[in-house]
Chain A
Amino acid sequence: MNMFQKFFVPVCAFWALRALLRTSTGRTPRFSGLLAILVWSAAAVAIALPGLSIQVATTVGIGRGADLVFYLAILGGVSVCFYFYQRSRQMENLITELVRREAVRNAEFGSRPTLRSPDETT
């Protein structure tokens, strides 16, 4: 095991173990927790056994293990972007709804009187 492996395998294992503990105690939602365990475990295995990623890459027809990791990282990055975009849209919609309700509830009628009161017009 080289220096890089000696440092990063325990780091990944730590995060995988932490995700496992948080998921089992219910502090992290099950789906997010399982995803985190999977990602950190896969990272630990890929660093500890570099031959394995080459083997998988060859099996799926990519060729180089580094390319496989690169493609997976891009896919993961894009997925994360979509996820956060969706979350921010949800948040924006909630804020909009809140502001809208307040605006409608506190709507006021202008000072100059009309021939009919506004309630009679509808």
Chain B
Amino acid sequence: MNTEHPVSSAPPLPDGLWIVIAAYNEQQRIGAVLDDLLPVVKNIVVVDDGSRDDTGGEVRKRPVWLARHAVNLGQGAALQTGLAFALERGAETIITFDADGQHCTADLPVLVDRLTAADADFALGSRFLGTAQGIPWSRKLMLRMAVLFTRVFSGVALTDAHNGLRAMTRRGAQQVHLTMNRMEHASEIIDQIARSGLKYVEVPVTIRYSADSLAKGQKTSAALRLGIKLLLEKVIK
């Protein structure tokens, strides 16, 4: 699966590292993602967000943890569940990873290295510093708008505000309390990182778009609704 980035050349990852994966209806893809991760990471928790297919069954076939939401709550809620679980199990470093095969295992050591080298608490993946393979122009435009939104409303200057590949230290993860259950969590987490005052760095990563991931991913048409909800939340708070 990971042809561009051979895993064998990557330095070993620390034992205290946990991978958190939020999965919803990923029966077709989650197996390959886990098979790619398992040779390099010992601790993985998949949060099955109330899938209607047999995502949980695929996960159970592998030596990883499975936490299951009784109902579908959204990616933000699933990630927060995964973070809570990993912290409870004593995670020292946590990486959030997508279930649809968009992320590359080879980026994991890079994220961890940057976290350590920069003495930061968050290493945020950026496809615009790295590579975005097969990204449609509409998605690129939407992501650029998200960057602008984050700069204006959160006061944080990032090159990629909605990248699901992030590494955080235990201290960093303890500052994250996602309350926005759906895709708005990507902006909420940036807000919380900025508010925490902890150091963050951006790291070039590779995102691979496929017809599958584009069909399932965040819709461009949903961007406006997402923006309105985020603004409403800011007014209410």
**Could you tell me which A residues sit within 8 Å of B by CB distance?**
82, 85-86, 89, 92-93, 95-96, 99-100, 102-104, 106-114, 116, 118, 121-122
Chain B, interface SS category: mixed
* Chain A residues with CB under 8 A of B29: none
Beta-carbon contact of A111 and B88 below 8 Å: no
Tell me the bound Cα distance from A85 to B236 in angstroms.
9
Contact A104-B84, Cβ < 8 Å, known A99-B69, A110-B63, A110-B66: yes
Return the chain B residue nearest A104 by Cβ: B85
Return the chain A residue nearest B70 by Cβ: A99
Would you call B205 an interface residue if the criterion is a C-beta within 8 Å of the partner chain's C-beta atoms? Answer: no
A104-B67, A110-B63 known; 15 other A-B pairs, CB under 8 Å? Answer: A82-B236, A95-B71, A100-B80, A100-B81, A102-B70, A103-B68, A107-B65, A107-B68, A108-B60, A110-B59, A110-B62, A111-B60, A114-B42, A121-B15, A122-B89
* Chain B residues with CB under 8 A of A95: 71, 73
A-B contact pairs, 14 of them (CB 8 A): A96-B77, A96-B80, A99-B69, A100-B80, A103-B47, A103-B69, A103-B81, A104-B67, A106-B67, A110-B65, A111-B60, A111-B62, A112-B63, A122-B89
A103–chain B nearest beta-carbon distance, Å? 4
A95–chain B nearest beta-carbon distance, Å? 8
* Chain A residues with CB under 8 A of B201: none
B89–chain A nearest beta-carbon distance, Å? 5
Chain A, interface SS category: helix
Tell me the bound Cα distance from A116 to B63 in angstroms.
11
Tell me the bound Cα distance from A78 to B43 in angstroms.
48
Would you call B6 an interface residue if the criterion is a C-beta within 8 Å of the partner chain's C-beta atoms? Answer: no
Would you call B195 an interface residue if the criterion is a C-beta within 8 Å of the partner chain's C-beta atoms? Answer: no
Beta-carbon contact of A110 and B60 below 8 Å: yes
